[in-house]
Chain A
């Protein structure tokens, strides 16, 4: 870059306009979905007809999960493409793109009724954990990585205890939770330890991002943290309801958590894409009046 290369105003392309509106679109569609979901739950509660809930999860619910997963793939791929070879976070975004692709594949396979969707979950978590590892390494290299606090250890302890309880009551039990031992079972059981690793990474990133503030890049990584935390909550909810530990209304509420997690996974790359787009256009900040 030289003194002669002062940036000039570049016309906004259609794609840029679309990307800048994506976070708002995700918030709006999540809010609409929740209004529909609450209406379906209310109708079910009033009439006792379970079809209200079934219809909600089968159509708008499925459409939302597929849509947000597809959006996540497109945005993560866009972020990866905008990083240059040799950039610190380029491998991270490649792994995040692959993770999003696996998440979309899992959602599609589930809709098609295939049991191969169980394989996508652990693979997607492995790729995401790899991506977040690169982010942590970048934070350490730059000198913004923070230490864990007491509350973080408590949160991690809760998820670790759940994982141990799951292994004690399902994996190491004689009946193995009524499952046949095989590739599907092993892959499915690896989800919870992977979730512990993901949560540890997410908490470390959250601590570091919270120290920086609430800018676009920080928001991206906060969204991934929220998504991983909500996945843990949803997972614990599934296990607790299968054991009959949850009251009925909490069991139903735990089904809705997956929509929030899916929205948060799509919001992460949406904020990153928006940040990169604004930086490319030389947007310095609102307070600078640019």
Chain B
């Protein structure tokens, strides 16, 4: 369940600056395995690009970044809060308790199209913005 939520967040971050990618996605990017969505987000978000630069430095020279664990823990904590209090709660409120399970089993495990289709872009974006601000 959490794996799906991480992927949802990673995809969303490519389009919505207020939604930040998780530490695993940033680490992938630092190791050169990053996706286009992450690069697009890093171009727009200064905080994440700083975290990503730290991660990239640690990959190439681990001794240069002693505070990396602290940064990573803080990022993980924020992401857990995001998943626990935001996306899952919103899915349950607007669609129901089975929505997350249905999405996990679906061919398109992404909550964004569901919110966009049934609530409209304006309302879905306002909701995404609110979820991101809670993280």
Q: Which residues of A contact B (CB under 8 A)?
A: 1-3, 5-7, 82-84, 86-90, 138, 141-144, 209, 211-218, 275-276, 278-290
Given A89-B118, A143-B106, A212-B96, does the pair A289, B126 have CB atoms closer than 8 Å? no
Cβ 8 A contact of A87, one of B98, B116, B129? B116
Q: Please, which residues of chain A bring their CB within 8 A of the CB of B123?
A: 82, 275-276, 279-280
Q: Are B92 and A217 in contact (CB under 8 A)?
A: no
Most buried by A among B89, B93, B118, B129: B118
- B5 at the A interface (CB under 8 A): no
Sort A-B residue pairs by CB-CB distance and give the 9 closest, nearest first: A213-B96, A282-B130, A285-B93, A285-B89, A279-B123, A143-B106, A288-B89, A83-B120, A215-B96
Which B91-135 residues have a C-beta within 8 angstroms of A? 91-99, 102-103, 106-108, 113-134
Number of interchain pairs (Cβ within 8 Å): 146
Given the known interface contacts A3-B17, A7-B130, the answer about A283 and B93 at a Cβ–Cβ threshold of 8 Å is: yes
Find chain B residues with CB under 8 A from A286 CB.
89, 93
A284 lies within 8 A of B18 (CB): no
Measured between alpha carbons, how far is A142 from B99 in the docked complex, in Å? 12
Are B121 and A87 in contact, with the CB atoms below 8 A? yes
Which residue of the partner chain, among B113, B114, B124, contacts A279 with CB atoms under 8 Å? Answer: B124
Chain A residues whose C-beta falls within 8 Å of the C-beta of B44 in the assembled complex: 2
Sorting the interface of chain B by its residue count into under 10, 10 to 19, 20 to 34 or 35 or more gives 35 or more
**Contacts beyond the supplied A275-B119, A284-B86: 13 A-B pairs with Cβ under 8 Å:** A1-B18, A1-B128, A6-B129, A86-B121, A88-B117, A90-B120, A144-B103, A282-B130, A283-B93, A284-B89, A284-B90, A286-B89, A287-B92
Instruction: Select one of B16, B94, B119 contacting A1, CB under 8 A.
Output: B16
CB distance from A270 to the nearest CB of B (A): 15
Measured between beta carbons, the chain B residues less than 8 angstroms from A281 are 126
Bound-state Cα–Cα, A90 to B57, Å: 48
Q: B99, A212: Cβ atoms under 8 Å?
A: yes
> Which of chain A's residues has its CB closest to B107's CB?
A143
Q: How far is the CB of B62 from chain A (nearest CB, A)?
A: 30
Tell whether, in the assembled complex, residue A284 and residue B119 are in contact, meaning their CB atoms are under 8 Å apart: no
B119 adjacent to A279 (CB under 8 Å): yes
A287 touches B127 (CB 8 A): no
A133 vs B91: C-alpha distance when bound (angstroms)? 24
Closest to A281 in B: B126
| Residue from B96, B106, B126, B131 in contact with A214 in the complex, judged by beta carbons closer than 8 Å | B96
Known: A3-B45, A87-B117, A138-B118. A211 touches B18 (CB 8 A): no
Report the bound CA distance from A282 to B107 in whole Å.
28
Chain A residue, CB-CB nearest to B121? A84
A217 in complex: contacting residue of B16, B17, B95, B98, CB < 8 Å: B95
Q: Which residue of B lies closest to A90 (CB)?
A: B120
Known: A3-B17, A141-B113. A215 touches B95 (CB 8 A): yes
Does the CB pair B118–A284 fall under 8 Å? no
Task: Collect the chain B residues with CB atoms within 8 Å of residue A143's CB.
Answer: 106-108
- By beta carbon, the residue of chain B nearest A220 is B118
Is the CB–CB distance between B118 and A217 below 8 Å?
Answer: yes
CA distance A284 to B108 in the complex (A): 22
Q: Is B85 an interface residue, CB under 8 A from the partner?
A: yes
Bound CA–CA A89/B118 (angstroms): 7
**Interchain CA distance A220-B127 in the complex, whole Å:** 19
- Is B99 within 8 A of A282, CB to CB? no
Complex Cα–Cα for A231 and B27 (A): 57
- Give every chain A residue within 8 A of B119 (Cβ-Cβ): 217, 275-276, 279
Residues of B within 8 A of A142 (CB): 106, 108, 113-114, 117
